[in-house]
Amino acid sequence: MNDRDSRIKSPLREVRTVSIVGTGSYAPERVLTNADLEKMVETTDEWIVTRTGMKERRIARPDEFTSDMAVQAARRAMDQAGIQPTDIDMILVATISPDMVFPNTGCFVQNKLGATKAFCLDVEAACSGFLYGMEVGRQFVASGAINTALIIGAEKLSCITDWQDRGTCVLFGDGAGAVILQARGARHGILSTVLGSDGTLAELLMLPGGGSRNPASEQTVKDRLHYMKMSGREVFKHAVTKMVQAAKDALERCGLTIDDVDCIIPHQANRRIIEAIGQRLGAPLEKYFINIEKYGNMSAASVVVALDEAVQCGHVKKGDIVLMIAFGGGFTWGASVLEWTK
Ligand code: ACO
């Protein structure tokens, strides 16, 4: 080794075990019940409950943006982790309902938190966004490139929901969840993550307006292209298959089986999807943490809000093996296995 080589420090050669050291979540105050929806579109409480398991969802105030909800969740996660905004090296917001097309929502969060040291980005992988974002953050922390990542899933889906379309408007809600990732010398932490995508099926779940393909115009507004479109039945089928396979692959990758798992946190898109996954994975429904009845589908926020609630209510305890699974537009999917180290 010559003199120059011996002076070069390469923190990227390190591989560190990364853990979630704090979680937080936030739900807006306004509750929209199935009874409220009965007055808005031709639907019934009975249809919504039997087809989805949803009873109510939260709706953000007009002056409450995705970044505001993200900040509330982030503050709670920072409290849990015992860190200050200036400790954060990276802010990643997973969302399909950003404050604006740009700047990224992470920059708005940074400004509101005063996290002056952080670099900021958004990740867009629909309902899988949080697991995608967590893996991006984990890689940065594991490599030693940074020490502290704030990973947020936040959505104001009420802004991109077509309130005249009963096939979708009953499904979605607003909210945010956050985690802090650090390498604090835990033995295991995040054990494995599997991510996947299939762009051939993009048209089954999309928001077609507002991008370079269909820039905003009078016509795109008339055609209601600025709202989510979904082929529910097709999405249902793929969601079950892909989440089951991702869960199996993630478990295999870290040498565990479904019997080793103490708590499963699935994306909260439909109670029937969760039950179908339960049957195929061979895990009893008691192992699943389900809060779909309170919040509906909050896309990128669903898994992380459920994780935070599972931790706060003691459903997830120190030493537990937790399996998180998600599926969303793209299509995108992912599964992550971790040992809870808090
Ligand atoms: N109230 C009453 N009737 C309704 C409603 C409603 N809100 N919505 C649809 N219907 C009707 C339909 O018009 C249809 O009527 P028809 O038989 O006369 O044609 C009937 O109910 C059945 O409709 P389906 O769409 O076939 O109902 P299904 O059992 O598939 O349930 C649902 C629909 C809940 C959307 C389901 O398909 C689903 O959950 N799909 C997956 C959603 C998902 O996983 N999304 C994940 C990602 S989201 C993201 O990435 C942003």
In tens digits, the chain (342 residues) has pLDDT values of: 677 777 766 555 568 999 999 999 999 999 999 999 999 999 999 999 999 999 999 999 999 999 999 999 999 999 999 999 999 999 999 999 999 999 999 999 999 999 999 999 999 999 999 999 999 999 999 999 999 999 999 999 999 999 999 999 999 999 999 999 999 988 889 999 999 999 999 999 999 999 999 999 999 999 999 999 999 999 999 999 999 999 999 999 999 999 999 999 999 999 999 999 999 999 999 999 999 999 999 999 999 999 999 999 999 999 999 999 999 999 999 999 999 997
Q: Give the whole-angstrom CA distance, residue 37 versus residue 318.
A: 40
Told to judge if 238 belongs to the known catalytic residues of this protein, a careful annotator would answer no
If phi over 0 gives left and psi between -120 and 50 gives alpha, with beta otherwise, what is residue 210?
left
* pTM for this entry: 0.96
Q: Determine which helix (DSSP H) or strand (DSSP E) holds 174, and give its type and residue range.
A: strand 174-182
CATH of 19-182, one of 3.40.50.300, 3.40.630.30, 3.40.47.10, 3.40.30.10: 3.40.47.10
Question: Distance between CA 305 and CA 297 in Å, rounded?
Answer: 11
> Which of these is catalytic: 104, 120, 267, 291?
267
DSSP reduced 3-state for 148: coil
Residue 267 annotated to the active site: yes
Q: Is the peptide bond before 266 cis (omega within 30 degrees of 0)?
A: no
CA of 87 to the centre of ligand 1 (A): 44
| The CATH number of domain 190-339, selected from 1.10.10.10, 3.40.50.300, 3.40.47.10, 3.40.50.1970 | 3.40.47.10
Active site residue 2: no
Binding-site residues, ligand 1, Cβ < 6 A: 43, 47, 51-52, 126-127, 166-167, 170, 205, 232-233, 235-236, 239, 269-270, 273, 297, 299, 327-329
Q: Domain spans of the chain?
A: 19-182, 190-339
How many alpha carbons lie under 13 Å from residue 40 in its C-beta half-sphere?
16
Q: Do domains 19-182 and 190-339 have the same CATH topology?
A: yes
